[in-house]
Structure 1
């Protein structure tokens, strides 16, 4: 507006001046040529025309300038409207106020309201920001330009952020005569900044800005991560106190790309933690800087170390595991030079009994103490590893066969003393098999296999001893393969027969039941005991057709005895887990009963504790068997997976105490404590009790004193043929 007003005033002055000049020219001409009237007239006319022509040119030039000014003003106004900008100019000497239209958009008030109330701009400032205005006025009064940021309240009660750049103007005498302020609406920018700040300050990771080797900004998670109580404690501090020198050097040298590091960060309390940091170059405050994001990965690193450890170590004993052992053995065997290596395969005798009767907690503690004894005994002479369960492997290099035997004997000796757990003593002994490199194998698999084979020889020779591998042991494997081949043909060739062992009432000797036991009458090898072929049948799956045959034969024989007039007593048949897993098992039981005509109550199916491995399926099958009316017994109780919490819910009628516990009756260390415990438990669960493997009179006396009513074993009779069993049935008693 001001340039246009000034242009119009200047135009009037020029016109007035031209008329004065023209008039003076006429007067001068009149003075010199007054006598020549005609010439005077021409001169006067010429000057007037020239003046008018000049006026025309001036008018046209001024109009063009005015149009350009108006056009530029409109352009400027359009820019201001687009940018949410307003200009406030106040000439203090004349109290003249000039405000651009944009102020209406910024403040929400009309232009007239600001002209009417020149302090309106201050009245709408948020009270909490008035101290900013006061500080601003002080700065302006001493001639300092200032940029302020404050909030205003619009008529619709909406809060807006204003960026106000004020420029004071002083005259030559130092008087404050003019003031111009450029106003910007920065609400969107401030809200974006606040959202970003809120996000950054609420993040669980450290966000920091560093430049020139110092900390310029750090969020709350950041100062807490380094152990500080506030950001102010860290701002401006050298970052080298927290970052390793090589990390800081790489950050400072990188100006374009994002970098990621993992390192140990130094905390103020002296602790060091694992962190992951990414650094990105940015501009901060107009200068080059780096924004870093730091995450505490201490727990992740700990988990990684745990996973790494667990990948190569046993979680229970912390010994090297099978994989780590094979790596170690392979490295030794592949190293240069002639050497001898001994591999010992060690299995704990009687561990399963303790683990299943006393529970896995005791079993785990026992394994931990066993591993400690093994490590202490072997020491630096070799590596002790746990292969799983109660199996351990020991590797010793540069050792003679004699020295290996000496170490093995030390291992046997160290287990002569009991292991104490919860004030109770437990005895375990190892069976050890030894393979020597290179004569017993030149690779890790062969050495371990041969040591394992030797360990089974130690088991067969009474346990609690060590045996070296020998090529003769291959004969055992060959015989196993031979048996497997013959077993597949045995049923078709009718080589299988049943023997029967009586079950008697201990007080009276009365015959109360009979157990059917399979035997293999091999045409060349004679009578083969079940211990040699039943595991093979389990392993090959032949146990299913074999078990079906036994079930049918036993039902048929019991029904024949009853039809012959002998007293009706139940016959027991052993059922394996493999049979129960067969989808046709229930059908085969039903078929055997229906086709033989035997009443279900005279069939007693003996299951093992290994059914606990699939308790839901096993419970369903047992319940359906009970619906048929069949009796159910838990065989070899105490040697498998039984749990009282499951046992009390299984629909069984009786439990059979395993022979290994009966053997312990005469052992001075426990004096039948396990048998007493099993008997008490059975009575509490209202289950009948049958003792297996009775061989001595002392055992019978002990069982009678402790309320176990029924038993079987060689003390009464070995398993006999059906013809011999007829005699027992005829007498009704088994005499000793």
Structure 2
């Protein structure tokens, strides 16, 4: 072969070819020949190449190639050595190359290096891409929050990521010895096996399954599984499992909550409604239809305002606007149902939030029509006299406070007329209580008709009435008093019996005779007593010269002052019966006065004077001390422990050292406080705040409290709720007329029980009264039918021998 042919062959070799001479030290010296491919690869001409050495084209970072190691030894032995390096082109571009070199010896024993250089740029890019892809896969595998697992063709675990280990609680080493079936919830196993077979057959599948963790917890997983294909052969399964346990639980809770909501909404006995922001009905339950009388079809899409009564529309609109601002509201209102009836409602209105935005309003409407009727009845009872229907003493004090306040601002005047019937006690005793009550009703009617619009008539108590005359002159007020005297004194037809009573009236004027209610009442009362001393059946205007106490009252007052010193008071005890057990549960201590001058004096005669003079305080203290000592003595005798009730007057109750005296008496008598009950009247509510504080102190001692004469005209549900009391004591006037007042008595008993109070009825004189009270749910009875008040010596025998079986 010709040399020229050899050169032609070298020039046509596709790979770059370099021949490099070596010096005496076996170091590369310079290129002696390069082919065309080498020139094209680096951009040098052949002439330029022949001026260069390999060191000029090799990247400086790769100059150590062939300098050390095994490759150098093999090279020197004449073996081909292949290394990767980077060559730098004429224009500075780095080119990744694979260099295969061999040491050759030519003529004259000269040694050269024959190198072929392959551009591996494409391969390097592929390798880098593969490396990046692998790194991305490893990142996706290891750092994915979802579970990624791999199974072989028979379902055995071959790999799992870190998230999977944490979720399932098994390590990779533990799972390598397990199959997927070992983790699957039994009820899901058949489905899971079917899905696995689908993937092994080359299909991608997605399904939900429940698996067990190592600590036996259940996980809900949403799995996407794909076949692993290597060289067109399915070798296993790779799956991505998303933990949907919380999603499932949330969905389940959401469904349960929705069902609860629907149950609450649809089956609620109260009306539940939804409105849009314009106030139009959007939804209503069946209770709403029953309450309103309208069907859902009639109301949906329409405004609620047309069914609201006129006087409530403005208030309701204002409340609705506040709810739209995100402020829940509770209030009462009135609607008119389809039948035209007024229905009273208690409304709870709350905004509906969707994505933190108010989209409508929910309302719960409770029908309180019946409650309002009961409240109105109780309110009427609290402010009106049960017999005459007139405003009572409590309403009088309320009106007077407002009247005085208004008069002070306007510099107005008004007058009080205190009226007392002169012969009522005689008529009442002679004709009986039924006709006495009828007389009071007719007197009340005449008073109202006479006063008309000029004032207001109140039944103050018993046969006493107060007339509040609005802005009026002195002359006009006295003229009205005279007219009332004449009107009252006209004969009355009481069930075919003609009766005549007269009235005495005392008159006081605001502000001439006083600027507070108590002063005005006292002076009108004094003027009324002066009218009685003047022969009754007349009126008197108060003046400073009026004698407020008669000579008899003065004498009795003097004797009362001496009564305590003379030890003239004594106590008698009236038993109280527990209806359920038919046993004696307590006694009421009643004071009696055995005067050396006047003999046995009725409490009705001396108690009032004692109240007026303040003597009621020391007398009440004596009663309280004597009752406690006696009850302790009975207990020491071996009698069953029982509660002893003692009446406490207003003056005694509000006395500055009352609680201190009570505490001392309990300590000295050694009676346990729970065996003492104080009976107070409803009139203490005139100063409710002070009364509550005193009562709380008393109950803190352990002493029981009873409201005496309940329903007599000063009842207040509000005060009953405030006062810490244990018993309500129905006024005996109701018991006496139980046949006509049974409804009132039932109401009082129900009221007492609703307040967790026991109810006592006093004045039980007949078997029929016992039976009716028992069937009405009364707890305790007291009266002559059981026993008259007994002295201390007779009571023990009565207690130990008492047994009575009522007719019912």
**TM-score, normalising length: structure 2:** 0.38
**TM-score, normalising length: structure 1:** 0.41
